[in-house]
Structure 1
């Protein structure tokens, strides 16, 4: 995984389009017409909106270097990012973005099963397009509350019509109920090389994890979360530990109920953060010594075992001391 190093960009809001009920797509271009940094399916941008930094998946075409496209669901219960996009942001405005950054890359496979719930279609859309371009077999199961709430239906239908190896199943909940996971996973067997990609609300992700585990497909599942899944505290509760910042020469004590990033900031060491839930990767920090206790939802099992980086917003320490490249 690459540590975030990208400088921010100020981009122009070129176009905004209603893609479904309460879903607006936003096209961003460089104000001087310059090409934008390259990205691959599964990548997201950090968007500065309404005093918040929020992550939105890129759902356009990576081959189009002149524009980025994101899609934003209007969520009244959000902390303000989506509301700002829907009520304040307009074509002609300038917004600051950082990225792209990718924690949900599409690995090579002969066959894919894509599962999308609601606005979770945004990273999946670009992945479906890439799977079709690779000539792989693919099936998409797209669920949502109603047909009117499900974005990019026409675009997905055109993709499937142009790709003999692709199939789309639209499953609005008011007609079909929850996604039929046994049907979606039918025909997949452990070790057959097929991969399952899923993005959506936590109940869907948990159900897909359970269904794949029951079929021995856990190693073939790739997930992207909107929010962090609950993480149980270790037996006996949390304990404090020390963190040494190798470059700044600062050593801090992290309390049992304190996040590493909060302890660092309290001691004057600033780390860029966004979600503070371990789901965006903004605060990923290189580990030079000690054993991290990973609590994030991004690093793979192999990356967590290697312990080379950690998300300091949620992860803690499994040894007495951590040494970080800060």
Structure 2
């Protein structure tokens, strides 16, 4: 009997820990589903687990790295991967009464493969059952349109960073084309981070730049910043509505109407504060003639760190009724997209 392989209640218990913190993982597929070995540990690294699983399985086919559970997805960031592991793992988890979608990422966070949907006992996709498919599609289209301008300068270039951006962009489009909008949005989130880190590909500046063109570029960027940030209240309202709906259905004695009012007030204060900081930074950049909006980029980076520690956001993330991650990513996605647009 393996001392590392998890299954049944023990697997379910360990997966619950992965909802709170990343764990090391190792996975070796067997010739039968029942012979798969999945090891998870909060202290051991994936590499260490991989050595143990390799010894116990007698197979060199071992993937390892770190993992965490986000919403209804088990996300595996791999130092070593195996082809087809997303499908095998999802089936293994379901057999152990731990229904989760599986997303496999490389060490840089780029999606390699995934198996999304079909979590219910009757085989009905969760998103479709909840009527979320159209909302996911609309969200993908909006994100795609916002990222397109920043991606375009990288297309057709052969340097490593631009090639990776193009590959993730293509993968996102492929996933969306197949109707896998959750996976497409995951690619888009990774893409926004790549774009923010990469900046715009260098090009020779003209000896006598057209100041009118520069002014127009600054104006366009400011318009994008203002427009994008105005979308945040509507996006957060969708998440609040979902939470209050769950409270009304399951905890009506918690006075949902009062709870909505309290949440709206706290979130509105948070948004006003963030908008104020963004607008001040925009004004500084425009005043300085900074077409790259350096002040805004710095403020956006600071706000991303602050939002993760904000007590209101943390409380909403841990609500226990609906997937709380979007209460954070509504803000961080917007900030990532703004940072990417600054260098477009």
TM tier, smaller? under 0.3
More strand by share: 1
More helix by share: 2
Q: TM-score, normalised by structure 1?
A: 0.25
> Which one scores higher on RCO, CA 8 angstroms, separation ≥ 6?
1
